Structure 1
Amino acid sequence: MKKLLLASALFLGHAAQAQKLTATERKIVASVQRNMPNSEQLLEQVVNINSGTLNVKGVREVGTVFQKEFEALGFKTEWVAMPVGMQRAGHLVAERKGSKGKRLFLIGHLDTVFELDMPAGKFTRLNDSTATGQGVNDMKGGNVVMLAALQALQANGLLKNASITAYFTGDEERGGKGPEARADFIARAKQADVALAFETATNLHTVATARRGASTWQLNTFGTASHSSGIFKPGVSYGAIYEAARILTDFRETLSQEQYLTFNPGLLVGGAEVNYDETKARAEVVGKTNIIAAAATVSGDLRFLTEAQKEAARTKMRAIVAQNLAGTRAEITFTDGLPGMAPTPGNQKLAALADQTSRDLGHGPVAAGNPGSRGAGDISYVAQYLDCLDGLGASGKGAHAAGETINLREFPMLVERAALMIYRLTR
């Protein structure tokens, strides 16, 4: 009897929520549900194609699959080529021109972190609600969420006169160097009103109104090589390794408690001689326990919410680097990467739309997540130009690691939400 009452309550709850959808919106949801087997089949197809950033052929192959799907929806498609020396696949763009509603810029990426020589499995169902595979949620799942949402709209004749650009970069996980890598991406985004990015959803109830930016730094320290028995004596160098350790400790003690700011020394080498190849992230080191280290190199990242926070952190880091131990010197250089995506009132309005849409569907509330829980993403390149919302893609666990999963139970719900958000924005 209790189970019957619970089932009845759930049915009545969903029925009540459904009343908040228009007749057209209920048709959109029905189309999403009918097409879900095809959506999952497409997801399996693209997951089974390796598209590590440096596997140019694989990235293009995945892009070609999506290109055909978008052309079937009446989108005009093209590939934006990158300079040959960049060794990147380029970007896939699909566009529909119109004058109705907001002009949308939808963001995905074709590449994954899984290169050909890395362990990563094919698409595999673990149970009724979970599947695993390379890039299954980051972000091939997100790409399919976007496409499936548009397919549901097209099935009901609702893409007519909508202005939508779907932009799939080919090197989000390992961006090409130089302004050319995102010049076209930024230029097209500036022509839109709203950007929606389909990176991994933290869960069904969280979206991203802000994302941290990411940059890198390299610290080089120098000492004077001599016999280790003299260390700590007047006139004898403390050595490059102690100087590097001092700086890293001061970084941690001075900056580690600031909200949204993180910095990680990912590589450290030191000794009598150091030869560091930055392009390959490899080093050759020569040293002995009885020789004071003459050189050390540390490479790391710096993540931040705003440009002001980034610059303030760099200023403090430079000051720490300048306070050298006896007989040592140090220098630090910074390289910009992805900018930060700061929270804005416009972004919050989009989050409110996601929340209302989810509630109307009966899927529960949606709130803006903690920016500190996410890494950087392509949307940050354009966040200063238009209202933005991210985290609209597939949900799952273990992104960037072997065993990455997608939540298949939430997958259709996320497609429904995306479809109705796009529909409401383009009215």
Structure 2
Amino acid sequence: MQEYISSKQQEMLKLIEMLVNIDSGSTNKAGVDRVGSLLKNVYENIGFKIDVIQQEEYGNHLIIQHEEAVNPEILIIAHMDTVFPEGTAVERPFRIEGDMAYGPGVIDMKSSLVTLLYAIKALLKNNSPHFRNVQILLNSDEEIGSPSSKDLITRVSQGKNYALIMEPARKDGSLVSARRGKGNYTLNVIGKAAHSGIEPEKGRSAIEELAHKVIQLHELNDHENGISVNVGLIEGGSSVNTVSDHATAQMEIRIAETDQASSVEERMEEICSKTDVPGTEIILEGEINRPPMEKNRRNNKLLKKIISVGEELGIEITDTSTGGGSDASFTSAAGVATIDGMGPVGGNAHSEKEYLEVTSLSERTLLLAKVIENLSQ
């Protein structure tokens, strides 16, 4: 298998180039569907059947498994969308410089789509029966919180023993064993307008009330325990000489443990239940849209299995936690043993400097194939 994968590296790079040079931002349905169509054809050519989950607003999701698969126990998830606007691929297309490859989405996660495909091909080439034990979900909206696919992820997680998430490995090659959960909230304040020069006393400033709330909400930060509250966007008022009658704040919270969600939300609601500026009104809306992926006993047991496979291949496997979100949160919350970061090594995702370590392609493809074998035995 190692010899086969090594011999296919240039072929893998050509496919990565094709994928990177397709703009597939989360809101670019046509682009995401182009990526999906390309991958659908490749998987069909090697005997896999594809269930296309049609979407109106976002790209279609694909559920993929071999024609002979019966109740596969391993779920592998990768996403086809990127964060980049249309036209980015033309501005800075795929390129290789030395041992690094660059381009929009090259590491997050066009390269992962290819390593996954070739891990499956390697199993087929090696006459390993374990490709039948895999179900693949390629979704189209991970970069914006998986609004149309999170319920699908939860559904396909049922009956699975393991979930391998194809986000890239960290810059040092580490897998991801824990992720913080995330919630998005909107705080609307309604005040009363008045002329700030003629009759300011008749006004009730929504901006002033919002300022009090921003300070109070930020006091909920507890970085030591993995809780962060960030008001990232504010707007309000209509003119500089008018007491503002409206103001809005967009905020995000991050939590390290599932139990923290209710306590943080309760404290937010308590803060917003009373006003500091009499005569103003507060409306708080939002929810936790990604639960945390905790390094629990179930996930840690899977991690140890992967570390053991790495040792057999001469690959030192380390793990880390991150504040960023991924679909690993949904599979872990569904009770499936989950490990993330199973893609190749790279970094600077979501930026112009995003890169793939080309030398990690073969190594991580082989690791994935061998992990599939190990978990299937």
Q: TM-score, normalised by structure 2?
A: 0.91
Letter in 2 for 1:252: H
Report Cα offsets for 1:168-207 as digits up to 9, x if no partner: 0012123565xx6444332222132111010121135411
Letter in 2 for 1:145: T
| 1:350 equivalent among 294, 298, 302 | 302
1:382 matched to 2:331: yes
> Paired residue for 1:185?
153
> Paired residue for 2:243?
292
**Aligned-pair CA distance for 1:238:** 6.1
Query: What stretches of structure 1 of length at least 5 have no aligned partner?
Result: 1-27, 272-285
Report Cα offsets for 1:23-57 as digits up to 9, x if no partner: xxxxx222211111111111111111111122212
> Paired residue for 1:277?
none
> Paired residue for 1:65?
38
| 1:320 equivalent among 271, 278, 284 | 271
Q: Which SS does the other structure have where 2:194 is aligned? A: coil
Report Cα offsets for 1:133-155 as digits up to 9, x if no partner: 11101111111121121111111
Letter in 2 for 1:52: G
Tell me the percent identity. Answer: 26
1:240 matched to 2:213: no
Within a 5 Å distance, the mapping from 1:44-193 to structure 2 comes to 44-82=17-55, 84=56, 87-96=57-66, 97-98=68-69, 103-116=73-86, 121-125=92-96, 127-159=97-129, 162-174=132-144, 177=147, 181-193=149-161
- Alignment partners' CA distance in 1, 2:342 and 2:253: 25
| 1:257 equivalent among 197, 220, 223 | 223
- Alignment partners' CA distance in 2, 1:155 and 1:420: 13
1:305 matched to 2:305: no
| Structure 2 contact 32–140 (Cα < 8 Å) conserved | yes
| Structure 1 contact 139–394 (Cα < 8 Å) conserved | no
- Alignment partners' CA distance in 2, 1:411 and 1:267: 39
- Alignment partners' CA distance in 2, 1:51 and 1:159: 33
Relative to structure 1, is the Cα distance of residues 183 and 370 closer, same or farther in structure 2, using a 3 angstrom cutoff?
A: closer
Within a 5 Å distance, the mapping from 1:262-277 to structure 2 comes to 262-271=228-237
- Alignment partners' CA distance in 2, 1:326 and 1:55: 43
Relative to structure 1, is the Cα distance of residues 338 and 222 closer, same or farther in structure 2, using a 3 angstrom cutoff?
A: same
Letter in 2 for 1:352: K
**Aligned-pair CA distance for 1:130:** 0.9
- Alignment partners' CA distance in 2, 1:382 and 1:302: 21
| Structure 1 contact 112–138 (Cα < 8 Å) conserved | yes
**Aligned-pair CA distance for 1:166:** 0.9
Letter in 2 for 1:297: T
- Alignment partners' CA distance in 2, 1:66 and 1:38: 14
Relative to structure 1, is the Cα distance of residues 156 and 174 closer, same or farther in structure 2, using a 3 angstrom cutoff?
A: same
Q: TM-score, normalised by structure 1?
A: 0.81
1:367 matched to 2:318: yes
Report Cα offsets for 1:326-371 as digits up to 9, x if no partner: 323322111342222222212111211222222222222x233123
Query: What stretches of structure 2 of length at least 5 have no aligned partner?
Result: none
> Paired residue for 2:176?
208
**Aligned-pair CA distance for 1:241:** 1.4
- Alignment partners' CA distance in 1, 2:313 and 2:340: 20
| Structure 2 contact 64–136 (Cα < 8 Å) conserved | yes
| 2:16 equivalent among 32, 43, 61 | 43
> Paired residue for 1:280?
none
- Alignment partners' CA distance in 2, 1:347 and 1:248: 36
> Root-mean-square deviation (CA), in Å?
2.4
- Alignment partners' CA distance in 1, 2:95 and 2:122: 26
**Aligned-pair CA distance for 1:306:** 3.3
> Paired residue for 1:4?
none
**Aligned-pair CA distance for 1:77:** 1.5
Report Cα offsets for 1:56-97 as digits up to 9, x if no partner: 121111112211222233211121112x3xx11211121124
